[in-house]
Structure 1
């Protein structure tokens, strides 16, 4: 008899796939390093003589950067399972073929060396309590190559997100987006009694920096996130980054284009710029997992404010987000938002409705009085040293919950 229901097995398999993607970062990124080395080796001797740095030296720097990144990832995973799974970097050869499968002493089938780590983490992670009846042979990643590639890209995205949220390098981007939201919160929902602070919800909270900044101001703060990659990262960031600048990342080590200076590629980012463990907070700080519209379909105690940053366009149907924001807020509560409308599902094979700001403004105005509306420029996980940066023209608004009851229901798709 199957120890897991179909729904539980699907969720558990997603967790397995995410952990495997974390573990696979270095081996996958090494393929890019090999491509760089292979291409540079095609240069003539005369061309190589003109280079600032010879191919082997350059690629070994990249490889050591990948090892450092994997060690950071392994620190995250070690905190998940309570075990040390750090990498052995000294003897790592980037040009060596993948290691041969390891033979178990008990005679079981050979396995990928990463699978042992995968099973150790999955069986010990606080995020999941899988039944003991589940065999090791069932704890394996998907064989869907498209899904594997997508998950690996998520890992790379998460590393850049750490730069944005938890380093001095990301201070400008946080100033562009977090600061107006926090100033709006203090202006519209001031703390009158520090013993009973207002409750603030931050949907789509990513790696947890925005809800953390909220709680530092003295508010009760709850983050909400759906992505397992971000949930695992935020769990680590808010619970285990105990000292300033105790970790390092090389977020651009595979970015070979649009460099101004030769060494820009090897920029080292130190994390965190602020260590949550060093700043004792008296207010309540929590993270809630799951789909925003499902988790907050009903709330016992309304929130006093909702802050959303680069969030509205993550919906397949943004009306569901608007209705949910209205449902979780008390009358007179604040919804402050900043972000573009780069709808995440528009370019994929998903059902998705892409609304204009004019349409969204009309719908928001049913349940809110928009008291401030303006356009603000903002970057998102940009490389400040690059010759190419993406800047968004974001809609920023402050809206106050009115007396209109929430009505209507959206179809799920």
Structure 2
């Protein structure tokens, strides 16, 4: 198995057996970890994320149990005494909720400790950086971090920096471990990742067949014949190089499970993620978590609504369901294709992958619950077209819950001179001005306008997202799944 750990980065390097890698983009936040990051705002954002994991337990105890105890004792005495006794035992329930929060906090502190080790050079920020921060806590400074995960604390200069929105993201990230790294989340992963992995496996088989038949030539440029259902049959992949495995980009990689699964299948997978909460958490689970089932999380503990049984509310799930390094070492030893390689880039997708260095760089893009994060979908598609090799695949699955729809119209970004013209070479990425929302048929039309050829499309795929299957409230996306190919004749100039 290949390991390309950048020493200045938060590596995805499993302990012991196998190696994972975190490739660092030159303009990404991780690139300057050892050399000294120069942007005080970037440092502040990182430590906001770190501090949010530090504050998780305190805030969760206050919001989930402390306020409920106050409300409980505000009831008429006869009422709260009735509810405190069997069969309700409401005070016991609150005690169990506190214990569940403490269990979640063990994971939060482990993420914090792992992250602080990666950013130890910033434990004493410069005066200029420190003056850019505002605290949300009047607590006295914390002591320096200890070597114990149970006692790890933020450096005092950064303690209390997290905003309420940061702490909410930490809570959401802990819940997401249910989807990506628990055995119980396997059904969700099968629904969302399964079709994508199957499509890429089909592409890899075509690539391997092309390499086996004639390893010195590239596939034919002839158009594929139509299939019985009217869709275009899958054409040959981009090339048949000496290594028949696919180089796959996963934008919006989150907690890294899809990147891990692609690597496990023998591909060269590169994830991209802009959220430091997700990056810190995925780095811990892939790098530093010592064993499978090492943590117990309680993803449903933060809300008391729609529970059929109290046991459902208080249910724990072991994470991770696999130890990544052990699984990859086993794949490297036993799989005919072997384990692939993993990398992770921490950067704005639009800023990083639009550059010349990423032109025609990937055999495939695996887009899962990603396209609807775009304020400007056209920019996303242009960059995806740009970074795919001619003949490369864009494989997409997800809903269209446009993330910027609730912004006031015209309130995303700004146009300084009002002419609607923006220099893409100096783009600020996802923060660029303008936004719009399309229906699914319009999305597919836009995909083709950019230059892709849509080969297949399915709708109505049940795709739950962090769903409590025992809850009285069930929300399931009816996702769309489609595969589009960049024509073999396409040039990079088409995406300009």
> Which of 157, 173, 179 matches 1:164?
179
TM-score by length of 2: 0.68
Counterpart CA distance in 1 for 2:156 and 2:482 is 51
Matches within 5 A, 1:36-75: 36-41=68-73, 42=75, 44-46=77-79, 47-48=82-83, 51-75=86-110
Distance 1:141 1:405 in 2: 50
Greater shift after overlay, 347-356 or 274-283?
Answer: 347-356
CA distance in 1 between partners of 2:141 and 2:192 (Å): 38
**Contact 2:374–2:402 (Cα < 8 Å) also in 1:** yes
Q: Does 1:326 align with 2:326?
A: no
Alignment of 1:291-306 (within 5 A): 291-298=348-355, 299=358, 302-306=361-365
SS of aligned partner of 1:189: helix
Task: Kindly report which structure 2 residues correspond to 1:99-248, keeping only aligned pairs within 5 A, or say none.
Answer: 112=139, 115-116=142-143, 139=158, 141-142=160-161, 148-190=163-205, 192=208, 195-248=243-296
Note the C-alpha offset of 1:187: 0.9
How far did residue 49 of structure 1 move? 6.1
Taking the aligned partners of 1:241 and 1:155, their CA distance within structure 2 comes to 18
Question: Aligned-pair distance for 1:149?
Answer: 1.6
Is structure 2 residue 94 aligned with structure 1 residue 35? no
What stretches of structure 1 of length at least 5 have no aligned partner? Answer: 84-109, 122-135
Q: Measure the CA separation in 2 of the matches of 1:273 and 1:137.
A: 35
Deviation larger for 292-301 or 28-37 = 292-301
What is the CA-CA distance between 1:188 and the residue it aligns to? 2.0
Q: Deviations over 1:247-296 (max 9, x none)?
A: 11111112200010022111101001111021214422111111111111
TM-superposed CA distance for 1:58, in Å, is 1.6
Secondary structure of residue in 1 paired with 2:39? helix
In the alignment, which residue of structure 1 is the partner of 2:477? 392
**Structure 1 residue 51: Cα displacement:** 4.9
SS at match of 2:484: strand
Q: Deviations over 1:294-314 (max 9, x none)?
A: 111121661001001000011
- SS of 2:193's partner is helix
RMSD of Structure 2 on Structure 1 (CA) = 2.9
- By how many angstroms is 1:362 displaced? 1.4
Within 1, Cα distance between the matches of 2:492 and 2:69? Answer: 59
Secondary structure in structure 1 of the residue aligned to 2:163: helix
Match of 2:428 in 1: none
Are the aligned partners of 2:183 and 2:321 in contact in 1 as well (CA < 8 Å)?
yes
**Does structure 2 conserve the Cα–Cα contact (< 8 Å) formed by 1:240 and 1:277?**
no
Q: How many residues align?
A: 364
Q: Which has the higher contact order (CA 8 A, sep 6+)?
A: 2
User: Which structure 2 residue ranges, 5 or more long, are not aligned?
Assistant: 1-34, 119-136, 149-154, 212-241, 333-338, 413-434
Alpha-carbon distance in 1 for matches of 2:143, 2:254: 29
TM-score (structure 1 length as normaliser): 0.81
Q: Are residues 316 and 407 of structure 1, via their aligned partners in 2, closer, same or farther at CA, if it must alter by over 3 Å?
A: farther
